[in-house]
Amino acid sequence: MTTNTDSESPVIVATALHKRYGRGDAFVEAISGVDLTASSEEFIAVMGTSGSGKSTLLQLLGGLERADSGSIHFEGNDICRMSDSAIVSLRRQSMGVVFQAYNLMPTLDAVDNVALPLLLAGMGRRTAVPIARACLNDVGMSHRMGSRPAQLSGGEQQRVALARALVNQPKLILADEPTGSLDRKNTHAVCELLCDVASTAGRSTIVVTHDPAVADYADRVLTLEDGQIAERMPMGQA
């Protein structure tokens, strides 16, 4: 299963990232000189207080926000130097993103929400729908496949969002508080699932979390403080 290339080269390498919001005197230095390398099969947890820059970092890595300076090497490209449309196709093809606010399409049911990335990538409905159903089954949502987001609890929407992020077998999974609305039992279930999908050759998983129970599952925990990485702690060696 594992190829040498996949296991030896990092999946994503971010160097000297800076991101500032606002201008003049009223700016916020959200990310201030972050370096990050994520390896194949690595599950990284990003922690830090509210406002420390966690979501911003994830958005830079996913090309959803533009860095002011620095580079992000992924799949042979520097995301910081790509056009918006090229980033959109790269993300559709090779990334799975779970947003802090889920961002599900309100008019589509769970199956269609999960199938959407495949349909956008040009796959036919007949092929896409069974794959979407299988992903919903993996996150324990087989009983609510036909429900629209408004008919689902926060935790259920979060699991649909996770299924949608996994449906295209991405190289990079970026998840912002993927267990934020879940109870303890479902948090552990989603973490087990994330660990399982994270151990795929050629794939890195980066999860922002406030929850130490989620960080316990990670290979490595990065703590952000005022937009900078404060510590690197290999799990089990603290």
Ligand X SMILES: Nc1ncnc2c1ncn2[C@@H]1O[C@H](COP(=O)(O)OP(=O)(O)OP(=O)(O)O)[C@@H](O)[C@H]1O
- Residues 144 and 108: beta-carbon distance below 8 Å: no
Angle, in degrees to the nearest 10, between helices 110-120 and 154-166: 20
| Residues 6 or more apart in contact with residue 136 via CB below 8 angstroms | 110, 111, 114, 142, 144, 145, 159, 160, 163
Query: Out of Mg ion, ligand X, none, which partner does residue 51 contact, by CB within 5 to 8 A per kind?
Result: ligand X
Closer of 30 and 135 to ligand X (Cβ): 30
* Residues 208, 174: Cα–Cα separation, whole Å: 8
Closer of 80 and 208 to ligand X (Cβ): 208
Footprint of Mg ion on 42-61 (CB under 5 A): 55
Q: Could you tell me the sign of the dihedral formed by the alpha carbons of 118, 120, 126, 130, in that order?
A: positive
**Smallest gap from residue 46 Cβ to Mg ion (A):** 10
Closer of 21 and 125 to ligand X (Cβ): 21
Closer of 54 and 91 to ligand X (Cβ): 54
Closer of 20 and 73 to Mg ion (Cβ): 20
**CB atoms closer than 10 angstroms to residue 235:** 14
Query: Out of Mg ion, ligand X, none, which partner does residue 46 contact, by CB within 5 to 8 A per kind?
Result: none
* Residues 170, 151: Cα–Cα separation, whole Å: 28
Closer of 40 and 158 to ligand X (Cβ): 158
Near ligand X by CB under 6 A, which window of 21-29, 104-112, 114-122, 151-159? 21-29
Does 237 interact with ligand X (rule: CB under 6 A)?
Answer: no
**Smallest gap from residue 55 Cβ to ligand X (A):** 3
Among 15, 18, 28, 108, binds ligand X (CB under 6 A): 28
Footprint of ligand X on 43-62 (CB under 6 A): 48, 50-56
**CA 27 vs CA 24, 49, 68: distances in Å:** 6, 19, 13
Footprint of Mg ion on 192-221 (CB under 5 A): none
- Residue numbers at the binding site for ligand X (CB under 6 A): 21-22, 28, 30, 48, 50-56
- Residue numbers at the binding site for Mg ion (CB under 5 A): 55
